[in-house]
Structure 1
């Protein structure tokens, strides 16, 4: 399962707002032989596919930035229950991430804060009219609102470039397992 850096997809909702200070995209392929994986599955998987060390980094981040009055995800007491109830609909919030927009093939997550605004696009692209093979592209876009946003992002950037490919790999693994589980149930 190869994950690679790529350009922002031309059909991404983020393409309309190109006034960002930082942007990157990573892509990975997944197989959807049953045609059952939709953008809501991808969105939910985004919140459940990361390794535990990423949760630890976010916890550390929340403690640190809370001292500066920045937004944090707050205390999540029952993550599994929150995930079960989460529908990935516009306006819903999961931790620090709000669903800002959604189409059949893309979800835009993000948040605006006093130091920076960020957007994350999760975009499914069908490959060569073969709807079984799909490409998932995660794009991150950041707009700095002041000097503190630029300063904040200096130590975040290298971690971001490590975290996103790992999360993408986890999402791909998770959705392919969903397909496998569905096939087993149908037998």
Structure 2
């Protein structure tokens, strides 16, 4: 399977931070995405609440972020550009291949790609672009939690659970 995603390559080349997590999962892309984006344990909800407080302290515009996709089912995962999944917007999607999502605040833009690499392998790629000096400071503070969050999302996606 061709694993090249041109838009992701462009973002990675111009991003300020790029991170990739590889995971094995014997579920389809839709199920993986629904599980990953629907994952919302209590500590993660608290972390996003704390993020909102910190963003207000920096006086940055920020959307209210509530992790979890509201129990989205795999068949409800959109691949159409402009459609929403939680606080993300779909940038690009190809059924059974990849889904590229974006979320933007006044201080940074974040991109998440979930790519099916075949043979039950997935890549979760995060790209961050700083839009203002506060974006760099903001991400410096939240970066230690980034790996925990993405790893938890990957595990939930691999389990194929979308109502957790």
TM-score for the superposition, normalised by structure 2 = 0.80
Q: Spell out the pairing of 1:1-187 with structure 2 (5 A cutoff).
A: 11-12=4-5, 13-17=7-11, 18-32=13-27, 37=28, 39-66=29-56, 68-73=59-64, 79-80=70-71, 83-84=72-73, 86-88=76-78, 89-104=80-95, 105-127=97-119, 134-174=120-160
Q: Which has the larger radius of gyration?
A: 1
Q: Specify every segment of 5 or more residues in structure 1 that has no aligned partner in the other structure, as ranges.
A: 1-8, 128-133, 178-187
| C-alpha RMSD of the superposition | 2.7
Q: Which has the higher contact order (CA 8 A, sep 6+)?
A: 2
Taking structure 1 as the reference length, what is the TM-score of the superposition?
Answer: 0.71
Q: Which residue of 2 aligns with 1:4?
A: none
Structure 2, unpaired ranges of 5+: none
CA distance in 2, matches of 1:91, 1:171: 22
Partners of 2:123 and 2:50 in 1: CA distance:
27
What do residues 14-34 of structure 1 show as CA deviations (whole Å, max 9, x unaligned)?
1133101100000110124xx
Q: How many residues align?
A: 154
> By how many angstroms is 1:167 displaced?
1.4
